[in-house]
Amino acid sequence: MPIDITLGARTWIERLWSSIADRGRPYADVPGIARPPLVRAELLARSLLSERGEASGAAVARELLSVLHDLNTEDRAAFRQFLASEFVPDEAELRAAAQAYLEDPSAARATTLFEKAEPPRQEVLRRMNMAPGGTATLVELRRELLQVLKKQPELKPLDTDLHHLFSSWFNRGFLELRRIDWDTPAAILEKLIDYEAVHEIMGWDDLRRRLAPDRRCFAFFHRALPGEPLIFVEVALVKGLAGAIQPLLSPVDGAAPGFDTAIFYSISNCQDGLRGISFGNFLIKQVVEELKAELPQVKFFSTLSPVPGFRRWLKRRLERSADVLRPEEEAAILALHPVEEGAEQPTGAAVLDAMASGEWWLDPAKEAALRPPLLRLVAEYLTRPNTGMGNIDPVARFHLGNGARLERINWLGNTAPRGMTESHGIMVNYLYDPDSIEANHEAFTRSGAVARSAAVDAMLALPALVPPKGRSGYLPRLLGGSSDTGEKPAA
């Protein structure tokens, strides 16, 4: 549906509710404006539950949103506390319903128990959502809440209720997939620049490149948030698997001749207030279907993904264990770190951590020494069982949970500062094979099994690096394995 039609439909709905609210105001219990704003907001929230008429309820909801919009930071924080602490289930009624169900576990009594257990706060939030702009107000409320939730755990009940309601309101059935191109309204294109969370869009020229004929961009929208993308994905049409991000972001235009692969290279969630509401899995699978219909020559669907948790995990492991490196890897690294006679020899792990700083990848000797252990360790990181060393990488969890296969690990796939800081420049390809997505998804969710290619398995069992005799100072190369996993990707 064209964006202007959606915007028009939403404007019509807002006009309708505004008209209803206008007619209902004489019948609504609206506190006078002489009261302090915070007190007035709290009274309006309580009044929402007492209103029975549709028109009067819409009038109170609209007035509450207007007051909330003008609250200062301190009063907004106090209103969040008010919502979280008030509107809880009636303890006596809930206890009686629970006891009745235990005595007679019938469907009817289960329904009564469910009704008594639901916090009245959820009904307050539902009625707030009736006002024009109500959904956007509640999404913003949760965004603010999530920023302070760790320090204020007493707000958790409010977050739980908002998450529960958003899971229903932003169900996949209510989302609309649209392709974004250069003809999309500028207001939405500006939001793509602002919301891009993986590879920063460097202005309008960069955005134009990402919307070129050999690129695709798709986003999910919701009618309650007109003109606001919820999540968007950027796709490059290439020949074979892409191993590095910089060539994909280069200003060179024009589709690769004979392209056969769609590379999902950036997925960005746009609304912080909807964190934890699943969109991405539906987005990728639907975009795959869209691309198959539009471009039948595209046979492969893969990501080019960061590994944002790798460097943090590796640093913890280096600090906790002296057996991170294999003997041949340690020897190659220590060969680049001579010590004076009599001085204590540092461990290979300590030297690795020190070497992997600055622009080390521009030094051929350092790059050759660091490549084997880092590639092996990132393969271990992405395929390891849960042994208490931290949760699985968030990007890996997303794609593996969607049924993708860990296909290839790319050395120096992203040499931008963020890529080097997060993962020593390593990127990976997760392959979406329609024939195995469901089986991979089931294996991962049931047992944590990571679907992976033979090339990744080979990296986990790399052969020993043994320097030839009689060649002092020789830095051994990575022997065996697959060029798909060990070679620097071509531009």
The pLDDT score that the predictor gives to residue 254 is 61
Model confidence band, residue 159 (pLDDT cutoffs 50, 70, 90): very high
Q: Give the model's pLDDT for residue 183.
A: 96
Would residue 18 show up in a list of annotated catalytic residues for this protein? no
Residue 286, pLDDT > 60, answer yes
Q: What is the CATH number of domain 172-303?
A: 3.40.630.180
- Position 130 scores a pLDDT of 87
| Selection from 1-15, 38-52, 459-473 with the highest mean pLDDT | 38-52
How much is the pLDDT for 251?
81
Q: How far apart are CA 427 and CA 246, in angstroms?
A: 12
Gyration radius of the chain over CA positions: 28
How far is it, in rounded angstroms, from Cα 350 to Cα 339? 14
Tell me the percentage of the chain whose pLDDT exceeds 70. 84
- Same fold flag, 17-169 and 310-486: no
Catalytic site residue from 47, 56, 305, 423: 305
**Secondary structure of the chain in the HEC alphabet?**
CCHHHHHHHHHHHHHHHHHHHHHHHHHCCCCCCCCCHHHHHHHHHHHHHHCCCHHHHHHHHHHHHHHHHHCCHHHHHHHHHHHHHCCCCCHHHHHHHHHHHHHCCCHHHHHHHHHHHCCHHHHHHHHHCCCCCHHHHHHHHHHHHHHHCCCCHHHHHHHHHHHHHHHHHCCHHHEEEEECCCCCCHHHHHHHHHHCCCCCCCCHHHHHHHCCCCEEEEEEEECCCCCCCCEEEEEEEECCCCCCHHHHCCCCCCCCCCCCEEEEEEEEECCHHHCCCCCHHHHHHHHHHHHHHHCCCCCEEEECECCCCHHHHHHHHHHHCCCCCCHHHHHHHHCCCCCCCCCCCCCHHHHHHHHCCCCHHHCHHHHHHHHHHHHHHHHHHHHCCCCCCCCCCHHHHHHHHCCCEEEEEECCCCCCHHHHHHHCCCEEEEECCCCCHHHHHHHHHHHCCCCECHHHHHHHCCCCCCCCCCCCCCCCCCCCCCHHHHCCCCC
Give yes or no for a contact between 220 and 238, defined as CB atoms under 8 angstroms apart. Answer: no
Q: How confident is the model at residue 8 (pLDDT cuts 50, 70, 90)?
A: very low
The residue ranking higher by pLDDT, 491 or 433, is: 433
> Which residue type sits at 389?
M
Q: Sketch the domain layout of the chain as residue ranges.
A: 17-169, 172-303, 310-486
Confidence at residue 475, expressed as pLDDT on a 0 to 100 scale: 30
The yes-or-no answer on residue 106 being catalytic is no
CATH code, 17-169: 1.20.140.90
Q: What pTM does this model have?
A: 0.84
Interatomic CA distance for residues 330 and 346, integer angstroms: 11
Q: Are 419 and 198 in contact (CB under 8 A)?
A: no
CATH architecture of the domain with residue range 310-486: 3-Layer(aba) Sandwich (3.40)
For 256-282, write each residue's pLDDT tens digit: 678 999 999 999 999 999 999 988 888
If you average pLDDT over residues 283-303, what whole number do you get?
A: 96
Work out the mean pLDDT of the chain and round it to a whole number: 86
Average pLDDT over residues 389-415: 90
Report pLDDT digits (tens) over 27-59: 455 566 668 999 999 999 999 988 665 677 788
Checking if the pLDDT of 471 tops 50, the result is no
| Annotated catalytic residue within 47, 222, 302, 399 | 399
Instruction: Quick: pLDDT tens for 314-373.
Output: 999 988 887 899 999 999 998 988 777 767 778 888 888 888 888 999 999 999 999 999
Categorize the per-residue pLDDT at 14 as very low, low, confident or very high, splitting at 50, 70 and 90: low
Kindly indicate the confidence band of residue 405, based on its pLDDT and cuts at 50, 70 and 90.
Answer: very high
Which residue's entry shows tokens 């590879």? 199
pLDDT value at 178 more than 60: yes
